[in-house]
Amino acid sequence: MEVIFQRRSIRRFTEEKVSDELVEKLLQAAMAAPSAGNQQPWEFIVIRDKLTFENIMQMHPYSTPLKEADVAIVVCGNTSREIYKGYWVQDCSAATQNILLEAQYLGLGAVWLGVYPVEERVLGLTNLLNLPQSVIPLSVIAIGYPAEQKGPVDRFDEAKVHYEKW
């Protein structure tokens, strides 16, 4: 539970490199996420190329954390694996959250950069990364060693909890 409450969006990173072993741990965590009908519709693109980061920043107005990130993981849904139409969004969101939590656990910083359902971002990444027609990018996660420290935030709001009925 501590990892859940400590996790914060980190947008500033040091120059320290994230090892391939840690990236693999992040991907293992992603693939441990639940999915509708256990279809696991996710696909992941690991990016380290700074030119690709620049291209993403040109099409995605909130992707500036990529300026300092060492690595990014693009989480995509492969709709050809869907049995339950539309659930790829939930499945890939769970995978994205698992990456964020594992990054916190490993001492890394990360931030979820939303892509889907903003059409310009989806089309831009689809073209940039040469995605097949059945693959839709959900998120880009900027990852690195944190250059900023943020304490936990208590977001619990009892007014948003309802029992039995609204």
Residue 24 has what DSSP assignment?
Answer: H
Q: pLDDT, tens digit, for every residue of 133-153? A: 999 999 999 999 999 999 999
Q: pLDDT, tens digit, for every residue of 23-64? A: 999 999 999 999 999 999 999 999 999 999 999 999 999 999
- The pLDDT value recorded for residue 131 is 98
The full set of domains in the chain, from first to last, is 12-148 (3.40.109.10)
Predicted TM-score (pTM) of the model is: 0.97
Give every strand in the sheet of 109-114, ordered side by side: 42-47, 71-78, 135-144, 109-114
Give the model's confidence band at 165: pLDDT under 50 very low, under 70 low, under 90 confident, else very high.
very high
Q: pLDDT, tens digit, for every residue of 66-108? A: 999 999 999 999 999 988 999 999 999 999 999 999 999 999 9
- 37: alpha, beta or left? (left if phi > 0; alpha if psi -120 to 50): left
